[in-house]
Structure 1
Amino acid sequence: MRTPGGWWRHKTTPEKVETYTRWSFHFFAVMEFFSVGFTSVAPLGLRLGSAAMLVVAVHAGLCFVTVSRSIDWTRGRRPQPTGLLWTLAAVTAAIAAAALGLAEHGPDREGVATAAGGVFGVILIFGPGIIALGVRSRRRAFGIAGGFAAGTWAVTSALGAPALTALFTSLIVLIGSVFIAFTAVFSVWLLNAVYELDEARETRARLAVAEERLRFGRDLHDVMGRNLAVIALKSELAVQLAQRGRPEAVTQMVEVQRLAQESQREVREVVRGYREADLGSELAGAQGVLAAAGIACTVGGATAAGLPAPVQSALGWVVREAATNVLRHGDARSCVVRLQVLEGRVVLSVENDGVSEAGPESMSEPSGSGLAGLRERLAEIDGTLEAGPVGQGLFRLTAEVPLPSRSGPTGPTGAVPAAVAAHAVSEVMP
């Protein structure tokens, strides 16, 4: 089952900022209702107070909808809610005028003028601030707040209020509405900046991948271009010699065979250079990536320095895949990586507190990736891999690799086995 708060942890950072922004302004609407709508019943009486509460509830609901539509428009998900913004402005002005009329001509009871004045001020402060979410120009956003403040001064002066009172009231409306409008403008700017930063990071990652592919393609071209050209020429020559019945055709085909074998060896060397992973770099990289994702990662135990290259390469891939699984599966908050160098073997364990909802089977993927791919790589150097939940929401992955004997390295020339290189070709080259 999804744990409480799991829906929040599954969101990306921009989505979290958007959710926070959206509900912050929704809270303004809720606060408006409870601060002046709900509290108007007692001083205004049941009948008049219920009507005032209903009117404020309508305004708060309209603000609620305007917030959602305006933020969606900001993110390009829907057109600008121009009609809704004009409706909110008209309703705000109408409620403010009604509240002002109630304060001037309403029942002569204690608290009526105070309650009506509260509705008047809060409505005129929150209304223009919410409208500012739906306009693109900052000048226009602050101009709307200034316009409502000027209208407040004009209406209160027309109703016979003293000049100082009208000025003071309009200043309160101006300061409050400008503050909410500034909050709206800043929140929209921050939201857009976070999304743009996330898009820039994704673009940078895609460019890095594209650059690496180009570099790999150049290396393969440098290795294979000349050999393939010679193979094509010698094959064409062998065909012509064979058609004439010349024995030199056999010599040419032997040379073609030698070049093909040499090309195969060079491709394996190129792939081996790309696929070998430094364990120390992978541990530091995994720690940095997990920390950037908000997952506390602790690396302890022995250091990777001095371990044979095949062992470091195999365990480096274990760390890389384990970090990927922690990010992609479950709701991990912490991860502990421990490296132990025992007598004749190296043990690497990666433990996190976010067991996937779909179970540990979801961490195993086909086609040479995930846990199945790790087992295949470790099997090449007689290593083992165990993975599974260990209770209390913990998932542990343990890789054990034997250290090569001093008489000689594991595999030919101490390199990653040919099967791993061939598997790398199948993954990198389409």
Structure 2
Amino acid sequence: MPNRGALFTFLHRIRWFNLAVLTITPAIGLHGLRSTPLRSYTLAWAAMYYVISMLGYHRLWSHRSYNASRPLQYLLVLMGASAVQGSVYWWARGHRSHHRYTDTPLDPYNAKRGLLYSHIGWMLIKPSVKPGTADISDLKKNEVVQWQHRWYFVIIIVVGYALPAIVAGIIWGDWWGGFYYAGMWRITFVHHSVFSINSLAHYLGETPFDDKKSARDHFVSALLTMGEGYHNFHHQFPMDYRNAVKWYQFDPTKWFIAGCAALRIASHLRVFPQNEVNKAELAMKLKKLRVVQDNIQWPAQAEDLPVVSWESFRKEAQERPLLVVSGFIHDVGDFLDQHPGGRSLIRSHTSKDATAAFCGGVYEHSNAAHNLLSMMRVGVLHGGVEHVDGIAPGERLKIVDKNRSRRRQQAGTY
């Protein structure tokens, strides 16, 4: 009985309609491959209709990233319905929940549950936890959205399945090719391309704007979905009508929206302040550089070195080659035979303040020379003598973790 009960519960959780659409559609397409040759006109029509299907719901109704005129709204609900992925009302509600609760159990396609689940599993199995709440009051009031939701199944029969065959059949006589290739295969490819945004674009790619959440910029997904694959930017700045902000990035949806604005059928295109975009991008670059910085050996700081009087310095320099540059005492013994100018040049400045000579009096040393010399510090001269900037060039732009500094202060380490 327990096994039968578990089986009954599992069967009850299956979304049978979704399972039918996601299996029968490609199965019919496979039959078409065997029975109907693919003609060049039909392939071109299928590709064009694929693009049309991709330019539907997302940026207008999930994120209100621009305003659309009534005619454009009707066009978009028809274009989006051709993808056969649910009505605007259902789809946008789930997507808003995904953004609000990303990577949590309340996320309807939570990437933390695995690649298969986020790609297609969430479509096939009812979740044990309901998706988190999202404000959809605007969708409830929108007449176009409610019209499409009410007539959704009629609309998808027309624009999803019938129209591809009708266009191919009337214009070049390929009724079955239009049905199989521009219909069934197009829908199948649209499904899995869009699903890749929920799956691959949360696993593969770059995080140039934020790595707090799993969303990533993934070029292949962007190529397949008309620009939606720049998912890291999108999750950081969801109200922006763009997904790609670099001139060379592939985002036809952005170009389509901008084109509609030029035709005055779209307006109020929302763009996140560029200063904040730059700030986010810089933060991620600095974070990567911080990893590089933490793997570099840096010179000892003044507070970590002994303070030595001039007399003690002079006495110690009789036993080993020490010299002073910018208030720091350096032991140059290991470098005597490596110095390009020879041992005698360094020897002539040991037990002395060589600041002037090192900083242009004899030769204007390179940044690399300053960096190397700083690694030879063994002490700080009490009171200093001649002083030029004591910060080595390699440290001048060193990234400082304020949280780490604060913790050190609280611990009383300095």
TM-score by structure 2 length?
0.22
TM-score by structure 1 length?
0.21
